[in-house]
């Protein structure tokens, strides 16, 4: 929205209580996004919690702590997503994580013949093997399909989400899949996260961009747990995150990424794709390459 408002000629201030924008990625990557926003004239204010918005003759005044005040013609409040469940709850549907409707993997609620899918339901997480709340369009489509199959007597199950997502911020794209270090620790893994910088394609070929990658894997088993990626939006960031997303889906190790037969030609990649080079950096730091595969 900061990008959209800027494109419409508005002067934008983004206030965020966390130390960097987009707390869904690691601080190092969030800071890069903050720099990108500033590069396009957005005033980025971190470490400030908005406490009040007043409306008076002079317009809107936003007050925050510590020590923040600004006036504005328009305030957009973007503080997360909540499931809209009133109708179903009134009908007797049970809720679970973050008040989302409780469903099984065939999208059945506790009420007979009442199926639910999308932003209003809990989402089974494939890596954590438990319900989470991950409202995404990709997930909603798959869950809707499973609910449809259940409705007509099929037995397909929702295979689970990994929270794979991508967003564009001016010239950058930021993407992630799976768990980050703190999520992985909380889930009982012994994670190691290794950051690296790789070119999206052969540097001698014009138009190469640097990608910032962060891979998270389990130290003991070498299992891949998550990936984060920031780079120029023309550098195949979205499709590149889908490589670890596919690997995570199939329970591969970080080292196993090395063995994937990925495409290459100099304008688009390298014989070792950026993701594979990031995997090499991880296995090098972990100190012991693991065998490939699940
Ligand atoms: C600005 C924005 C950008 C997004 N970008 C992405 C993205 O890039 N990638 C991604 O994966 N996800 C994205 N999402 C999330 C994605 O849009 C949602 O996860 C997805 O649309 C959820 O699908 P759904 O069917 O559960 O709900 P919705 O798409 O919200 O559909 C629910 C529908 O039900 C209707 N409805 C509600 N109550 C009633 C009622 N009582 N009676 C009749 N109809 C009713 C609503 O009007 C609505 O049309 C984005 C969301 C937003 C808001």
Which pLDDT belongs to residue 288? 64
Which pLDDT belongs to residue 238? 95
Helix axes 274-286, 237-249, angle to 10 degrees: 50
Which pLDDT belongs to residue 289? 58
**Ligand 1 atom showing the smallest separation from residue 135 Cα:** 19
CA of 135 from ligand 1 middle (Å) equals 9
Alpha-carbon span 43 to 195, nearest angstrom: 27
Ligand 1: residue whose CA is nearest its atom 9? 137
Residue carrying structure tokens 């190790």: 253
DSSP 227-249: EEEEEETTS-HHHHHHHHHHHHH
Ligand 1: residue whose CA is nearest its atom 36? 84
Alpha-carbon span 205 to 213, nearest angstrom: 21
Alpha-carbon span 241 to 135, nearest angstrom: 19
- In 3D space, the residue among 40, 50, 92 whose CA is nearest the CA of residue 70 turns out to be 50
CA of 119 from ligand 1 middle (Å) equals 7
Alpha-carbon span 98 to 82, nearest angstrom: 8
Which structure tokens are listed for 44?
């980025």
Residue carrying structure tokens 């620790």: 185
User: Which of 90, 121, 137, 166 gets mutated to test ligand 1 (max ligand atoms within 8 A of its CB)?
Assistant: 137
CA of 291 from ligand 1 middle (Å) equals 41
Question: How many CA within 13 A on the CB side of residue 172?
Answer: 21
Residue carrying structure tokens 């510590």: 66
**Ligand 1 atom showing the smallest separation from residue 144 Cα:** 25
Which pLDDT belongs to residue 235? 95
pLDDT along the chain (294 residues), means of 10: 97 96 94 97 97 91 95 94 96 97 98 97 97 96 98 97 97 98 96 97 94 97 98 96 98 97 95 97 84 44
User: Which of 107, 116, 119, 175 gets mutated to test ligand 1 (max ligand atoms within 8 A of its CB)?
Assistant: 119
Q: Is 131 in the pocket of ligand 1 (CB under 6 A)?
A: no
> In what helix (H) or strand (E) does residue 283 lie, and over which residues does it extend?
helix 274-286
Q: Is 135 in the pocket of ligand 1 (CB under 6 A)?
A: yes
Contact (Cβ atoms closer than 8 angstroms) between residue 221 and residue 192: no
What is each CA distance from 102 to 107, 109, 147, in whole angstroms? 9, 6, 14
**Ligand 1 atom showing the smallest separation from residue 118 Cα:** 26
User: Which of 87, 100, 140, 238 gets mutated to test ligand 1 (max ligand atoms within 8 A of its CB)?
Assistant: 140
Q: Is 118 in the pocket of ligand 1 (CB under 6 A)?
A: yes
CA of 136 from ligand 1 middle (Å) equals 8
Q: Which residues pair with 210 in a beta bridge?
A: 199
Burial of 160 (0-12, 13-18, 19+ CB in 10 A): buried
**Ligand 1 atom showing the smallest separation from residue 81 Cα:** 53
Beta-strand ranges (E) seen in the chain are 13-15, 43-45, 49-56, 59-65, 68-72, 123-125, 130-132, 165-169, 172-178, 191-199, 210-218, 224-232
């Amino acid at each position: 929205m900061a990008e959209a408002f800027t494109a419409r000629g508005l002067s934008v201030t983004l206030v965020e209580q966390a130390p960097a924008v987009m707390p869904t990625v690691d601080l190092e990557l969030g800071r890069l996004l903050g720099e990108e926003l500033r590069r396009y004239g957005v005033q980025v204010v971190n470490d400030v919690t908005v406490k009040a918005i007043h409306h008076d003759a002079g317009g809107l005044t936003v007050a925050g702590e510590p020590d923040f005040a600004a006036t504005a013609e328009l305030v957009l409040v973007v503080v997360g997503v909540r499931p809209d469940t009133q109708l179903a709850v009134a009908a007797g549907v049970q809720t679970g994580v973050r008040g989302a409707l409780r469903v099984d993997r065939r999208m059945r609620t506790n009420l007979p013949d009442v199926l639910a899918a999308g932003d209003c339901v809990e989402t089974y997480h494939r890596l954590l093997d438990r319900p989470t709340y991950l409202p995404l369009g990709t997930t909603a489509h798959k869950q809707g399909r499973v609910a449809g199959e259940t409705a007509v007597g099929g037995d397909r199950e929702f295979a689970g989400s990994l929270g794979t997502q991508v967003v564009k911020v001016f010239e950058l794209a930021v993407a992630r899949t799976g768990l980050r270090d703190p999520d992985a620790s909380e889930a009982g893994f012994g994670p190691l996260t290794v950051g690296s910088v790789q070119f999206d394609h052969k540097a001698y070929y014009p138009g190469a961009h640097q990608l910032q990658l962060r891979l998270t894997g389990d130290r003991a088993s070498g299992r891949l747990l998550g990936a984060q990626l920031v780079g120029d939006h023309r550098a195949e960031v979205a499709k590149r995150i889908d490589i670890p997303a596919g690997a995570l889906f199939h329970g591969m190790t970080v080292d196993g990424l090395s063995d994937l037969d990925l495409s290459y030609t100099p304008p688009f990649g390298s014989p070792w794709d950026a993701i594979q080079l990031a995997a090499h950096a991880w296995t090098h730091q972990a100190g012991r390459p693991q065998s490939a595969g699940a």
